[in-house]
Amino acid sequence: MPRTARDVVFVDGVRTPFGKAGPKGLYAQTRADDMVVRAIRELMRRNPSLPPERVDEVAVAATTQIGDQGLTIGRSAAVLAGLPKSVPGFAVDRMCAGAMTAVTTTGAGIAFGSYDVAIAGGVEHMGRHPMGEGVDPNPRFLADKLVDPSALVMGSTAENLHDRFPGITKERADAYAVRSQRKVAEAYAAGRIQPDLVPTAVRSAEQGWGLATEDEPPRPGTTKESLAALKTPFRVHGNVTAGNAAGLNDGATACLLAAEDVARELGLAPRMRLVDFAFAGVEPEVMGVGPVPATEKLLARNALTMDDIGLIEINEAFAVQVLAFLEHFKIADDDARVNPWGGAIALGHPLASSGVRLMNQLSRLFEERTDVRFGLTTMCVGMGMGGTVLWENANWEGAK
């Protein structure tokens, strides 16, 4: 029997505070699966009108799917979170766009009618599982010259992007990074970021048990002068530093998606509608430019231009990657539509979890900006990809 696509809505999203990876980071002694379980439990607690048995799928992303990020983490996290054993789950890997792909995959299932309600998210414990742990790249990548050797080092791909866009100087990248830090500090001061955060138990050998209630990575006192003095580890006299790039981080995210009619039935208030999504491939050695073709594909398919987009949440893996996107679409570096509350340069980028952080922030912005109809969440992806999701504000005043 032919099926009619259903409207898919983003109902709610949460995340753990993000921590710095490493032996002194917030989550040094916390398991990755426990982090995402904490997010799922909080999501269910905040939405008491949702019967747990109505969850049809749990999709959780992780880039390094071994150890406490393995064992089909979507299913294992669902069981650990106390969802009924009848609720299935699966794992996703699209590197940085893992959580984004968890959302688009389950969202497509909802639109098709296979699910009514789904939980999607991601986790990355980069302290326990460093980027690239256990990988064995096929030697043909280099032997057959399928990719440039720099494609396997994310910082080097960012330096390559500086080469491709010579107008994006280190000074311009540093200025963008300072703005990101400032915007996050201002958003924290205004209480805008805290509602998404799930207080998470942590433990350290020095201080014993504690509670993580805010992000660890932000450096609110950052200045262009302090960034100018940092080393460029990926190239002598290069442009990419620890100050104009996201750090190595730990954290988990989760969000609740539903068919719009089911959400209304269950008393769940939609924040935004999933309109469409697109992924695209680019040369792996300049993976940071990936959001450009993904966004172009998406806008063209929906007969929109960038002028129709009122808010843009773009992942700040590197400042140069964001600036290349803005330059391509002729958007000013300080355009008010772009990451109004700051981004990953300040907040952190626990790889596979970050896509839902972007969605959480966009949904909160939509609540404040009922004059805005459309928004984007977009990000570059390792090995040469980009992903973009188009959202419609469920509270857009023009629909009334």
Task: Quote the CA–CA distance of 19 and 26 in Å, as a whole number.
Answer: 5
Contacts (Cβ under 8 Å, ≥6 apart) of 170: 162, 228, 232, 238, 239, 241, 244
Cite the active site residues: 96, 349, 380
Contacts (Cβ under 8 Å, ≥6 apart) of 147: 141, 283, 284, 285, 384
- Cα torsion 41, 46, 50, 56 to 10°: value is -40
In the chain the beta strands, taken as DSSP E runs, fall at 8-15, 19-20, 57-61, 89-92, 117-125, 200-204, 208-212, 249-259, 272-281, 309-314, 374-381, 385-393
Angle at 72 between CA 93 and CA 66, to 5 degrees: 70
Task: Quote the CA–CA distance of 89 and 68 in Å, as a whole number.
Answer: 16
State how beta strands 249-259 and 8-15 pair: antiparallel
Count the alpha carbons within 13 Å of 157 in the hemisphere toward its beta carbon: 27
Task: Quote the CA–CA distance of 149 and 170 in Å, as a whole number.
Answer: 23
